[in-house]
Chain A
């Protein structure tokens, strides 16, 4: 019997370490420590209901487990074989407890390839990875295929880069393999900077060996003996697990010299980022690894010709690598049978925002946004109305109701005015102001622009100022034209991917939510009630009973009135914090 406890960042923040300890001590108290193994795994994905505990072999899925629940699970489930119903997932539609995750709406439509081992194995134990076909793919490649044959398999599978651009991975490897040099490098881009995206982190925390193995395969294909993982310093747990994995792989002779006695040598080192979004761009990333400011350079030369230390370098994203080994083992045809015509396989998305089931999901390409948001995601929080979904982070756009039924793939998302990006998917409801959302992303871009090229450094700042003006109710119709024109200029003239995509949140909200911009500019109103400058708090004298709750809780004493008589708000003093609305039991205060 096994007890698996989720050890992803989200669940650990909710004390999953303590849960593991508690299980161990409870089992020891019952003399079961030799019969039942407690394992801390990588992320199960269902972060909304974390911490997750899974009991094998009967696949019982417990949600929101607290350390003090361990005793009951041991006593009831482990010893008496009775499931603890109150900790099972409650299906919101059927109002029934579901014990096997296969039957939960959140998991039913998922296909797990990149996340195949996350939540199944102990990421700090190489034997568990090997037991699930780990390091078989590299063995197969080294003994059965030459580099070109391997590249052909990847090409045929249709795998495209998962970092955002969607460049065909096999082709990228082929270009790097054809450049001659005494030293080449394989780089894994783990600088996951999109706010709201945590796919790569979960793969590295839950299944670090899958990335190491795939990097070795890439090294074999392009003729590189060195691999580098560029990882965010903000991911201490992923760094720790990678270090453990690298040490174990070296000990087993799966990294280092003469791997499996085939004469092929490959080793991996870590390089740390230091908090710069632009370093996700491959040329900037390479400069950062060289100890320089992470500023991008013009392409060509592409890294495949001249990259790290001037040598041919192949850069792939974590999730891209995580797909490689299953393709080698199960074949290109198997992989290309999943997905759409031009986008094969699956994609991992980090589903977050105003959605019931926040978490990490892996779905086949071609699934619709509606299926993702309403079936897997369980719909919008608190019964509110769906308004938009933002994909692609600061480089992407906001999609609306009318896009819900398009099949998700690289090309369809671009055609709809957004992009796949690395896989962040933030859901917004009727309470979100789309002008403010655009401003939020521009604020991010302004802060993260490296400053090297003028369109990005200056242009985005001007875009931000225009949006700020509009959210303050000072915008004009000319400003809307200016927004659109400037956005197009930045897209056409910025140096790197960051600048070229930074106006996307502005353009997509202008296209899809133009009426909201108009409301801000012409009527000086924020329909979502988010823009403070455009709001006015008023007390309805009919509904107010004079209980004084609002006046007592107003931090700036803007509310006055006698007891048991209607109160009023002095709008000159009011800071629009909303404290009064929260305290009013009679719904007498509203935003106009």
Chain B
């Protein structure tokens, strides 16, 4: 868990409250609330979770429990261009590991980390279902198919601005 304290601006707090309200502050809708909140903020730091918990009338521990249970939710901000390497079985047998190693080597980050300038973050995901294009890499929403370790540099160069 990150120890950097996030100061929420009043309008951000209002935004979270609005999201909760759109689900009638119903604790049963916690996962939907978190989906929308993460959509608005990019990630779910502890301070955001506290507001959600207060609005839905449940303990923060419960919100934290849900956030940490599901891999879709993150408590760390993602990079400007989030990179996800598919490590599903089809991509694995077609060499996804080598592609991942190449990203790690060039970006000098581990899986789950962001580059110091916040430009790229590196993650793994399990199967986007484009197995015909294995191995697959996603940068943001863009899908790159049949990626080879040699092609990693070209992908990153597309985002060199």
Q: A-side interface residues toward B, CB under 8 Å? A: 9-10, 12-14, 47-48, 50, 192-198, 201-202, 233-235, 271-277, 288, 290-294, 350, 352-354, 358-359, 390, 393, 424, 426, 428, 432, 437, 440-441, 444, 450, 555, 577-578
Q: Find out whether the CB atom of B71 lies under 8 angstroms from the CB atom of A276.
A: yes
Of the candidate stretches B8-16, B23-31, B112-120, B151-159, the one touching chain A is B23-31
Q: In the complex, which residues of chain A have a beta carbon less than 8 angstroms from the beta carbon of B32?
A: 271-272, 291
Which residues of chain B in 77-100 are interfacial with respect to chain A, using CB atoms and an 8 Å cutoff? 87-90, 92-94, 98
How far is it, in angstroms, between the C-alpha of A578 and the C-alpha of B65 when the chains are bound? 43
| Residue on B nearest A426 in the bound complex, by CB | B89
30 A-B contact pairs sorted by A residue (CB < 8 Å): A9-B128, A10-B130, A13-B130, A13-B145, A47-B133, A195-B87, A195-B88, A195-B90, A198-B130, A235-B129, A272-B31, A274-B35, A274-B71, A288-B31, A291-B28, A291-B29, A291-B30, A291-B31, A291-B32, A291-B66, A293-B65, A293-B69, A350-B129, A352-B90, A352-B134, A354-B93, A358-B131, A432-B93, A450-B69, A578-B98
B127 at the interface (CB under 8 A from A): yes
| Interface residue from A201, A444, A555 paired with B129 (Cβ < 8 Å) | A201
| Interface residue from A10, A293, A393 paired with B66 (Cβ < 8 Å) | A293
Q: In the complex, which residues of chain B have a beta carbon less than 8 angstroms from the beta carbon of A291?
A: 26-32, 66
Q: Find out whether the CB atom of A275 lies under 8 angstroms from the CB atom of B66.
A: no
5 additional A-B residue pairs with CB within 8 Å, beyond A193-B126, A196-B90, A233-B35: A50-B132, A274-B71, A275-B72, A291-B31, A292-B66
Query: Quick one: given A274-B71, A352-B132, are A426 and B31 in contact (CB under 8 Å)?
Result: no
Q: In the complex, which residues of chain B have a beta carbon less than 8 angstroms from the beta carbon of A48?
A: 132
How far is it, in angstroms, between the C-alpha of A202 and the C-alpha of B87 when the chains are bound? 20
Q: Find out whether the CB atom of B70 lies under 8 angstroms from the CB atom of A294.
A: yes
| Residue on B nearest A14 in the bound complex, by CB | B145
B40 at the interface (CB under 8 A from A): no
Q: Find out whether the CB atom of A274 lies under 8 angstroms from the CB atom of B131.
A: no
B143 at the interface (CB under 8 A from A): yes
Query: Quick one: given A274-B31, A354-B94, A432-B93, are A10 and B132 in contact (CB under 8 Å)?
Result: yes
Q: In the complex, which residues of chain A have a beta carbon less than 8 angstroms from the beta carbon of B66?
A: 291-293
Q: B-side interface residues toward A, CB under 8 Å? A: 26-32, 34-35, 65-66, 69-73, 87-90, 92-94, 98, 101, 105, 125-134, 136, 143, 145
Q: For the complex of A and B, list the 5 residue pairs with the smallest distance between their C-beta atoms, beginning with the closest.
A: A47-B132, A198-B129, A195-B88, A274-B70, A13-B143
Q: Find out whether the CB atom of A353 lies under 8 angstroms from the CB atom of B133.
A: no
How far is it, in angstroms, between the C-alpha of A560 and the C-alpha of B131 when the chains are bound? 40
Q: Find out whether the CB atom of B145 lies under 8 angstroms from the CB atom of A352.
A: no
Q: Find out whether the CB atom of A195 lies under 8 angstroms from the CB atom of B130.
A: no
Q: In the complex, which residues of chain B have a beta carbon less than 8 angstroms from the beta carbon of A294?
A: 69-70
Query: Quick one: given A10-B130, A13-B145, A234-B128, are A393 and B89 in contact (CB under 8 Å)?
Result: yes
Q: In the complex, which residues of chain B have a beta carbon less than 8 angstroms from the beta carbon of A195?
A: 87-90, 92, 126-127
Q: In the complex, which residues of chain A have a beta carbon less than 8 angstroms from the beta carbon of B125?
A: 234
Q: In the complex, which residues of chain B have a beta carbon less than 8 angstroms from the beta carbon of A272?
A: 31-32, 35
Q: In the complex, which residues of chain A have a beta carbon less than 8 angstroms from the beta carbon of B87?
A: 195
How far is it, in angstroms, between the C-alpha of A233 and the C-alpha of B32 when the chains are bound? 10
Q: Find out whether the CB atom of B70 lies under 8 angstroms from the CB atom of A275.
A: yes
| Residue on B nearest A202 in the bound complex, by CB | B129
Query: Quick one: given A14-B145, A274-B73, A275-B72, are A428 and B126 in contact (CB under 8 Å)?
Result: no
Q: In the complex, which residues of chain A have a beta carbon less than 8 angstroms from the beta carbon of B128?
A: 9, 234
| Residue on B nearest A292 in the bound complex, by CB | B66
Q: In the complex, which residues of chain A have a beta carbon less than 8 angstroms from the beta carbon of B71?
A: 274-276
Q: In the complex, which residues of chain B have a beta carbon less than 8 angstroms from the beta carbon of A14?
A: 133, 145
Q: Find out whether the CB atom of A359 lies under 8 angstroms from the CB atom of B132.
A: yes
Q: In the complex, which residues of chain B have a beta carbon less than 8 angstroms from the beta carbon of A290?
A: 28
Q: Find out whether the CB atom of A197 lies under 8 angstroms from the CB atom of B145.
A: no
Q: How far is the CB of A133 from chain B (nearest CB, A)?
A: 27
Most buried by A among B26, B71, B105: B71
Q: Find out whether the CB atom of A428 lies under 8 angstroms from the CB atom of B129.
A: no
Most buried by B among A234, A437, A450: A234
Query: Quick one: given A195-B90, A354-B93, are A10 and B34 in contact (CB under 8 Å)?
Result: no
Q: How far is the CB of A95 from chain B (nearest CB, A)?
A: 23
How far is it, in angstroms, between the C-alpha of A578 and the C-alpha of B102 when the chains are bound? 12
Most buried by A among B73, B93, B94: B93
Q: In the complex, which residues of chain B have a beta carbon less than 8 angstroms from the beta carbon of A194?
A: 127
Q: Find out whether the CB atom of A358 lies under 8 angstroms from the CB atom of B31.
A: no
How far is it, in angstroms, between the C-alpha of A288 and the C-alpha of B30 when the chains are bound? 10
How far is it, in angstroms, between the C-alpha of A537 and the C-alpha of B75 when the chains are bound? 42
How far is it, in angstroms, between the C-alpha of A399 and the C-alpha of B143 when the chains are bound? 32
| Interface residue from A198, A234, A292, A578 paired with B131 (Cβ < 8 Å) | A198
How far is it, in angstroms, between the C-alpha of A201 and the C-alpha of B127 when the chains are bound? 11
Q: In the complex, which residues of chain A have a beta carbon less than 8 angstroms from the beta carbon of B29?
A: 291
How far is it, in angstroms, between the C-alpha of A393 and the C-alpha of B88 when the chains are bound? 10
Q: In the complex, which residues of chain A have a beta carbon less than 8 angstroms from the beta carbon of B35?
A: 233, 272, 274
Q: Find out whether the CB atom of B31 lies under 8 angstroms from the CB atom of A424.
A: no
Q: How far is the CB of B110 from chain A (nearest CB, A)?
A: 15
Q: In the complex, which residues of chain B have a beta carbon less than 8 angstroms from the beta carbon of A577?
A: 98, 101
Q: Find out whether the CB atom of B129 lies under 8 angstroms from the CB atom of A9.
A: yes
